[in-house]
Structure 1
Amino acid sequence: MLTPETLASLRQTLEEERERLQTQVREMAGDDFDENFADSAQVAAEQGEHRTLTESLEEQLTQVQAALERMDEGTFGLCEVDEQPIAPARLEAFPTARRCMDHSEG
């Protein structure tokens, strides 16, 4: 069972992570590529890497936001499969966890 102090600490961690991710996504949106660069393959590769990184950051942001929403709804820390409590140690290590270890993916 999560103590109120642990829950507050996890909320703070998630809110800080949300801010960090939002900042990174905004910075990534401002990146420009020189389309006239002589090596168009290099530009294409960089654009692909940029797109992959941006998608990863956005997915992480979605997971953090979902965890904060679960906190607001009172379902944070409950496994989405069997609705049993997720071990506090798991949540401290992985605050966006949606499943207990028995039902974790991979």
Structure 2
Amino acid sequence: MADREALLATLVQELSIERERLREQLDGLGSASLATGEFDSNFADSSQVTAERGELEALRSSLEEQIKDVERALSKVPEGRFGVCELCSNEIAEERLEAMPTARYCIVCANTKSGHR
């Protein structure tokens, strides 16, 4: 049990660092540029501008989703629910948590939830 507690503590620390890294990346995208449409005036045509906006919005959305996942996982720490399956309340396997610290479900529930049997 002490090994699991140590692992969970390490993962929580790593998630906290990851949250800050993701926030910095998101801040680095320059939210004002995307919102106001300030793109490089040297773009050859509007299709390039559209493609660039699409890429930035997709990246922003991905980063926001990752931050949400990390924050969801970290919010479980105070109540002792980090590393516990949201469906069956069993502990999530350490190997799964090491691979995906934001895992919400044990492997059985994750497979059942996605339709696999």
Please, what TM-score do these two structures have when normalized by structure 2?
0.82
Q: Is the Cα–Cα contact under 8 Å of residues 43 and 49 in structure 2 kept in the other structure?
A: yes
Query: Considering only CA atoms, is the larger Rg found in Structure 1 or Structure 2?
Result: 2
Q: Secondary structure at the residue paired with 2:29?
A: helix
**Which moves more between the two structures, 34-43 or 78-87?**
34-43
Q: Which segments of 5 or more consecutive residues in structure 1 lack a partner in the other structure?
A: none
Give the structure 2 partner of residue 48 of structure 1: 54
- Matched residue, 2:103: 97
TM-score normalized by structure 1?
0.89
1:17 alignment counterpart: 18
Counterpart of 2:26 in structure 1: which amino acid? V
Mapped partners of 1:12, 1:75: distance in 2: 16
Whole-Å Cα distance in 1 between the matches of residues 42 and 86 of structure 2?
A: 49
Once the two structures are superposed, what CA deviation does each residue of 1:4-23 show, in whole Å capped at 9, x if it has no partner? 21111101110111011000
Q: Give % identity.
A: 48
What is the distance in 1 between the residues matched to 2:41 and 2:85? 47
Q: Any conservation in 1 of the 2:4–2:94 contact (CA below 8 Å)?
A: no
How many residues of Structure 1 are paired with residues of Structure 2 in the alignment?
Answer: 106
Offset from partner CA, 1:8-58 (integer Å, 9 cap, x none): 110111011101100000001355413574411101110011001100000
Structure 1: 4+ residue segments shifted above 4 A: none
Which residue of structure 2 lines up, in the alignment, with residue 3 of structure 1? 4
In structure 1, distance between residues paired with 2:6 and 2:78: 16
**What is the Cα-based RMSD across aligned positions, in Å?**
1.8
